[in-house]
Amino acid sequence: MLGNSPCYKVIDVPSPTASQGQVKVIAVGVRVNVVGKLSNGEKVYFIATTPPNRSMSARINVDQNMLVPLSEAADFVVFADTMSPGLRSCFALRERVHIQHVETILILDITENLRQLAAASAQLLDAKYVISVERNSFNLYQLFTDDKIDSFIILNDDETQFQQVMQKEAADVDIKINDLW
């Protein structure tokens, strides 16, 4: 509760219903990305947004349809953390700006993981045109040849040239994705 100090409480988790699995929480990335194990030892990923099951619980009952099985070799912490940037870009495009097919998206110089996830999110949410900006030309060429982006701008040390290219390529951008603060 706002204004009170945090407190630790033990809460009994009820037995899961027939449509649920009970997950032992192992790793959490940005509060909603959860990786854990079912009682049979299977590794799973899910997003914990439904009360009373929050991601800081030790055990959570989750609808079986919301569980994504993970490889036995998957690293819990890396997977939970890796999903965070992708969810940020997807939620931002879907929930905050309500992307429409007529919009052009500019993905600025961000981590490779987020760039790929942001490009995939933009495609899935039906962006009209996706442009990515970064220093690593190999990554940009790869995204372009894989049809994940429509255009790209390579950052270099020539500020004048960069500004000219940005004015030409990114003049009609509707949405910018930049995860650097």
pLDDT digit string, tens, across residues 92-126: 666 667 677 778 888 886 677 777 777 887 887 78
Angle between helices 76-91 and 112-124 (to 10 degrees): 50
CA-CA distance, 86 to 81, in Å (whole number)? 10
CA-CA distance, 129 to 68, in Å (whole number)? 30
For the domain bounded by 85-177, which CATH number is listed?
Answer: 3.40.50.720
Percentage of the residues of the chain whose pLDDT score is greater than 90: 8
SS3 label, residue 91: helix
Averaged confidence pLDDT in the chain: 79
